[in-house]
Structures are given as structure tokens and as C-alpha cells.
A and B are shown apart, each in its own frame.
Chain A
């Protein structure tokens, strides 16, 4: 089959953009600038050197952050994208450089994060010959990209980049990879940049069915115990205000998925808490008591639903979702509204009746009181000597006034951070949800801080996760990016250990960690650092972390064998959530 039909001839018609004769590599950088890019993350190598040479020329326009591993570049681009809503960009060379992007691409794909990755590739004539640092990155990355494409001719570059940005950010966002052969970087073209306005085969914005919205509103108006679940769609669709207006008129309690977190302030009176395996008690058990379940911009991940055959069977389901392939994928919708929540929510708000549902809401409060007594109290106000992760998070939450960007990694500390940080602003929770990528936090925090330099960015990382991308401390050093790093060190791969304790008869297979001295390591990278293992002094240490003008690492040695509760055991129904 033919390659993409990208126009190569110069358009000389009146009104057409004037072209300039430049190299493919320069066209790459000029196209990035044309897309508004002023920050990229990457790592150079043989096959991408022409682009790096051009980046050197344009170093005043584009700031390149040298990460210490290409995976770090992808997560940094993700962190940047998640806090800014803009497309994150990373660059790598061919072969191992390109394969190192795969984890980040997979993460961005499952968490709908708009990033564009550019990889160098061997010269087109060598494709398929097992040339030095040749790998079929288009083939490898196909399952984990929204779109990918190999550029073998300089003339294709502007349009391919325009398409890449358009595809990454529109509809349900996602990662795009462009693989650029070396001859295309060296070759010349008549360059002019036209942003992509649309692609014939791609319809990112569904046409909302008014009938479906009316049906949904009718169901909601008849409901006695309606219940809203919202996901990252609210944040991606920038529909936080629309969600609030819908909730405040309809009086419906609302719970969030891990990635929906921060779209609605934690202390909003209708925010009843977190869904899922380690979510709050009420939001889980009451899923099986509501009569109308309203899913807004979420995909009913298995960590949210537990056993699907026993999930909300009593309820009619309304599902508002921009991606039609998510509708009926896991949970069958009685009324499916395919559309952008930003567009659908105001339509729904106009049609729903004003209610307060106070009796139903009080059921959530009763559950919250049970959870407070059985779990939260001892997590936040422990009476034993050992520090809990929860008390650390709550301290950080209070001292930052809920205004920080919290970038958590994966594991127990992630669940605790999500449960106990009181978010006040949207786009403030950055975490690897769908893929559960350990090592995400440190590089993502670097990207987040560079994306919003005026905000406090706190990376909450477990001792296991930290060591997966610990080399990015070098990026912190070189870039002087003021991320605040808190290592919650329990000397275990805590979440796996918890499962081993509960479901594998305490057989702690390969979960104990012999760790380095994290403070020494951090100091070696030029960071200010300290370690705390007792309650006395914790508050002051957190103050020093937050008050430090530069980057800072605080290791908190927490109780080694604490568990995160509540917990919906794997394969169990949300109603079978365990409190201990």
C-alpha cells in the first residue's frame, strides 16, 4: 500500500503560505514551534542527531530537558500534559532509545494523555536490514499509540507533525509517535506550516443525540437514589464547572475514579469520595444500592467495578462518554450518551429537576462515619509509635492548603495520597492509573513543575518506585527544577506485600527491599535532603521541604507492614469491601 498522501508540491496559489527551503530536521523543530511547543524532553543519539542539531540552533525558542533515560522523557511529557492540558513532547533516537519509550506510551495510551514522541530512525534505504540501532518502532508501538507514522521523506514532515498534534489532543486524547528516518532529517523541503484542521477518517467530536440526553434526564429525574461517578473525562474535557453546576442543581452525590480526582474539590459537600479497590467505603458499597448510576467521562475500569457481574445490577446506568468504544465495553448502559462531557453536561443540567436527595446523601455520611472510625482515625491520628503514610499526606495537604500538584507513583503510597490529600484545584493529581507504572512519579513531577512553575509540585513516591527511575535526580540537578520529593519508605514493595499477607499466607516472596541511603543518594545529585523516622520532627521536616526554594528530598521512614484499607479484594463485588 502507499504511504500517507502528504502533499509535496509547493502551493503557489494566492493566499497560500510562502515556503522556505530548509532541511527536514529544521522543519521538525519549526513545526514544533508552530504548534506552540517551547519545552521538550529527550535524549539524543545517532539517528536523531540532525534534529538535535536543529534544536541547538533554536535553543532560545525551545527548551530541551535532557532526562537520564527515555522512559523519563515520556513520563515528564505526561506530567507536563496532565497539569497544563497541552501536548507533551519527547524525543529519542532509534533502536533502544525508541524501545525505551514504550512504557510511557502505554501509560499515556491507557490514561488518555496527549503526548507526541519523535524518534529517529535509520536511513530509509536501510529499513528492514537489521541496521545498527534499527528497530521496528512503528510495529512495536502500534498497540500503545493512538496513531503512529513513519516519515521517510523530508517533504512529509510538516503535515505529519500537524496531524500528530491534532490527533494527540482532540477527542479522547492519547499518545502519537512519529518515526523519522535519518535521510528525511537530512533531506530538504519547501517548508510551510498549516495546522491540521481535520482528518476525513477521524471524528473526534461526536454529535450529541438530544434524544439520548432527554432519556438520561428522564431517568435521573425519576431516580430516588441517583449516584454520579466521574472520571478523567471531566478534566480532559475541561468540564469541571459544568460538573459542579450539574451536581449542585441535581443534588446528586458524586464519587471519583483515581484519574477523576481533583476535578471536584475534595471538600465539596456532594463529593462523597473515591471509587475502587482502595476507595472509600460508602462510594463502593452504595454503588450496589443506587437506583440510577450516572457515569461521566470514565471507562468502568476493573479496579472501579470489582466483579462486574455483581456491579450495580439493581441500577439503571447512564453513561456519558466521548469514546464510543467504551460504551457497553464493561458495563451495559441503559442510556448511553456519546459525547464530550463539556457539551453534554449543560444539556443535562438544563433538563434535570432541582433536588436535594438529603436522605440518600446521609447514607454516604453514615458509611463515612464507619470508615472514619475503623480506618481513617488510626491512619491519620495513630496512637502507635510508627509513622503512617496517611499522617504524612495529611500534613502535606494541610501545609500546602490543598493547592499543590501531587504526583504520586504506584502502590500503597499512591492510594494513601489519593485518599488523604484534600484537593482544591483541578489538574492537581498526576498519577499512573491504568497502567500502574512504577517509576512514573519523579520524571512526571519534573514535567509537571516545568509545566506550572508557579505551583508547588510534590512527588509522593514509594521506596520501590523511586528506584525504578531514580536516575532522574540527575535531570533535577541539571535542570534545577524545584520538585519536592517525599519518599515514603517502608522497605517493602508494600502493595504486593499487603496482598501476600492477605491472600498468600504471608509468604513475602521478593518484596523486601534492601535500600540505599536515599539522603546520601540525593545529596550526591546536589539535592537538599533529610530523613525522618519519628513523629517528633516530621512537621518541621515537611516545612523545610516546602519552604526550600529549590528541589528537596524528604525520606519518611514509615511503618513497615501497614496495609491500605478499605479494600475490595480482587474478583470480589464492591459490596464485599473489607474494612480490615
Chain B
């Protein structure tokens, strides 16, 4: 059964590694829902957050093949329940669409969004949340004429308390011993 999984990959910060990781998905004809790359809490170690909708067995195999890559320190996958995650969305709305009974304040309040910038011709609204939430705001804004909409990939943090990079360094110690 297909379900959402979030794959976290800790890597060295090297050119070409993103390609090495994504081809593991394309090879098996898996669609990547979103992908983000950023630094981790340890200097020099980067993390990728990759969201997919797939069956567990396939995700397990893919994660092992990712971890096999020489410059990958660690890869793991989690279900939605096992992580905290967020996405960020930006909406550009024509200023003249406001008024006419549309209250910017109530929209922003209801959706726990915020106004990032108010220009003469347009307003930029920012909202973080899960996809359904940013989508809900988009649907509500659509009648006003959305000039631009963009949503980021997912960022996610696992529930367990321990520091993931500690586990990696522990593995390293074992290997070197």
C-alpha cells in the first residue's frame, strides 16, 4: 500500500551528490514529491529531506541504496506520525482585490498566516504548515486572483530525542576501532 514517507539523508557536501541520490528514485520510477537540501546541525554535513508516496518495502530498498553511496553518512525514512514537518508557501495577491468585503486581517488570522510585504499593487502572504493547510489558503485566495503561488519542499525533524549526528559519529568510531 502506498503511503507518504519522509526520507532524511545526511551527506558530505559534495558536487554531484544530489544527482547520485535522485537517480536512485528515477531508476525505480518513483516520483519525488518534494526535495530540500540544507545544512545540518554539524558543520560540513548536509541533509536532504525527500518526500515520496510509496509502499514501505520499496522505500526500505531505496533508502539502503542511498545509504550505500560513498558520500552518504546515513539515510532513514519515517512515516508522517514519526516526524514534525513543515512547508512554507508564498502568495501574491493584487492589492485592489482586497476590500470588497474581503478582510485581510481575518484571512491572515484564520489561517495563521502573515503578511510578508504590502506593496502598492500587491500583497505577499506567507504561510507555513502542512500541505493541506497551505492548499486551503490557496483555495480561499483563488477568487481574489492569485498572481503567483509557490510552495517549498518539506523540511522534517524526527521525534526521537537523541541527536542523529551522534549516532553517525558513534558508527564512525566503531568502524575506526
Q: Are A205 and B175 in contact (CB under 8 A)?
A: yes
**Chain A nearest CB, measured from B159 CB (Å):** 24
A201 pairs with B16, CB closer than 8 A: no
Give complex CA distance A323, B14 in Å: 23
B61 touches A328 (CB 8 A): yes
**B13 to A2, Cβ gap below 8 A?**
yes
A143 CA to B20 CA in the complex, in Å?
Answer: 7
Contact with A along B1-33 (1 / 0, CB 8 A): 000000000011111110110010001000000
Give per-residue flags for A136-163: 1 if the beta carbon is below 8 A from chain B beta carbons, else 0.
0011001100111110000000000000
* Complex contacts, B70 vs chain A, CB 8 Å: 146-147, 167, 199, 201-202
| A325 at the binding interface (Cβ < 8 Å) | yes
Judge if A329 is at the interface, Cβ distance under 8 Å. Answer: yes
Is the beta-carbon distance between B64 and A325 smaller than 8 angstroms? yes
Decide yes or no: A143 and B14 within 8 Å by CB, A167-B70, A201-B73, A324-B68 being known contacts: no
Q: Cβ of A3 and Cβ of B15 under 8 Å apart?
A: yes
- Mark contacts of B157-177 with chain A using CB atoms, 8 A cut-off: 1 yes-contact digit, 0 otherwise: 000000000000001101110
Question: Is the Cβ of B27 less than 8 Å from the Cβ of A143?
Answer: yes
Contact partner of B16 among A138, A167, A202, A328, CB < 8 A? A138
Closest to B177 in A: A207
Please give me the residue from chain B that is nearest to A152 by CB atom: B15
- B residues near A150, Cβ cutoff 8 Å: 15-16
Chain B stretch 85-108: residues in CB contact (< 8 A) with chain A? none
Q: Is residue A454 within 8 Å, beta carbon to beta carbon, of the partner chain? A: no
Residue of B nearest to A199 (CB): B70
* B52-83 with Cβ < 8 A to chain A: 60-61, 64-65, 67-68, 70-73
Whether B16 and A325, one on each chain, are in contact in the complex, defined by CB atoms closer than 8 angstroms, is no
Tell me which residues across on chain B come within 8 A of A324, comparing CB atoms.
Answer: 64, 67-68
Please judge, given known A-B contacts A198-B176, A328-B61, whether A1 and B68 are in contact too, CB under 8 Å.
no
Contact B14 A4 (CB under 8 A): yes
Which residues of B lie under 8 Å from residue A2 when comparing CB positions? 13-15
Please determine whether A143 and B68 come into contact, CB atoms closer than 8 angstroms.
no
Whether B72 lies near A201 (C-beta < 8 A) is yes
B12: nearest chain-A partner, CB-CB: A201
Interface contact A142-B23, CB-CB below 8 Å:
yes
Q: A329 CA to B176 CA in the complex, in Å?
A: 28
Q: Is residue A200 within 8 Å, beta carbon to beta carbon, of the partner chain?
A: yes
B114 within 8 A of A: no
Please give me the residue from chain B that is nearest to A163 by CB atom.
Answer: B70
**B131 at the A/B interface (Cβ < 8 Å)?**
no
The answer for the CA separation of A255 and B67 in the assembled complex, in Å, is 31
Neighbouring B residues of A323 by C-beta, 8 Å: 68
Query: Is the beta-carbon distance between B68 and A142 smaller than 8 angstroms?
Result: no
**Across-interface contacts of B20 in A (CB, < 8 A):** 142
Question: Is the C-beta of A7 less than 8 angstroms from some C-beta in chain B?
Answer: no
Q: Is the CB of B61 within 8 A of A142?
A: no
Q: In the bound complex, how far is the Cα of B176 from the Cα of A4, in angstroms?
A: 21
> How far is A107 from B19 in the complex, measured between Cα atoms in Å?
21
**Across-interface contacts of A384 in B (CB, < 8 A):** none
Docked Cα-Cα span, A55 to B174, in Å, equals 41
Is B46 on the interface with A (CB-CB < 8 A)?
A: yes
Contact of A203 among B15, B23, B61, B175 (CB under 8 A): B175
Measured CA separation A1–B73 after assembly (Å)? 17
Minimum C-beta distance from B58 to chain A (A): 11
Would you list which residues of chain A between 181 and 230 have a CB under 8 Å from chain B?
198-203, 205, 207
* Residue of chain B at shortest CB distance from A197: B176
Q: Tell me the A482-499 residues at the B interface (CB within 8 Å).
A: none
Q: Are A325 and B46 in contact (CB under 8 A)?
A: no
A325 touches B61 (CB 8 A): yes
B contact residues around A328 at 8 Å (CB)? 60-61
Question: A1 CB to closest chain B CB, in angstroms?
Answer: 5
Question: Which residues of A are found within 8 Å of B68, using beta-carbon distances?
Answer: 323-325
Report yes or no: A3 in contact with B14, Cβ–Cβ below 8 A: yes
Residue in A148, A199, A202, A205 with the greatest tally of chain B CB atoms within 10 Å: A202
Q: B67: which of A138, A146, A325 is its contact (CB, 8 Å)?
A: A325
Q: Tell me the complex Cα distance, A241–B13, Å.
A: 42
Tell me, in angstroms, the Cα distance from A5 to B45 when the chains sit together.
12
- A4 CA to B67 CA, complexed, in Å: 19
Of listed B60, B72, B175, residue having the most chain A CB within 10 A = B175
A400-440 vs B, CB cutoff 8 Å, 1 = contact: the mask equals 00000000000000000000000000000000000000000
| B15 lies within 8 A of A139 (CB) | no
Task: Please measure, in the bound complex, the distance between the C-alpha atom of A570 and the C-alpha atom of B53, giving whole angstroms.
Answer: 31
Interface residues in A102-143 by Cβ distance below 8 A to B read 138-139, 142-143
Known interface pairs A167-B70, A199-B70, A200-B73. Does A329 touch B61 (Cβ–Cβ under 8 Å)? yes
**Nearest CB of B to A159, in Å:** 13
In the complex, the answer to whether B60 meets A203 with C-beta atoms within 8 Å is: no
How many whole Å from A108's CB to the nearest CB in chain B?
15
Chain A: minimal CB distance from B59 (Å): 13
Interchain CA distance A324-B72 in the complex, whole Å: 14
Nearest chain A residue, comparing its CB with the CB of B72: A201
Residue numbers in B under 8 Å from A205 (CB-CB)? 175
Beta-carbon contact of A1 and B14 below 8 Å:
yes
Nearest A residue to B46 via CB reads A1
A200 touches B12 (CB 8 A): yes
Chain B residues within an 8 Å CB radius of A327: 64
Chain B nearest CB from A355 CB (Å) reads 34
B residues whose Cβ falls under 8 Å from a Cβ of A? 11-17, 19-20, 23, 27, 44, 46, 60-61, 64-65, 67-68, 70-73, 171-172, 174-176
Q: List 26 A-B contacts (CB under 8 A).
A: A1-B15, A1-B46, A2-B13, A3-B15, A142-B19, A142-B23, A146-B70, A147-B70, A147-B71, A148-B16, A149-B14, A167-B70, A198-B175, A200-B73, A201-B12, A201-B70, A202-B70, A202-B71, A203-B171, A203-B175, A205-B175, A324-B67, A324-B68, A325-B67, A327-B64, A329-B61
The 8 closest A-B pairs by CB, nearest first: A325-B64, A201-B73, A147-B70, A325-B68, A202-B70, A203-B175, A325-B65, A201-B71
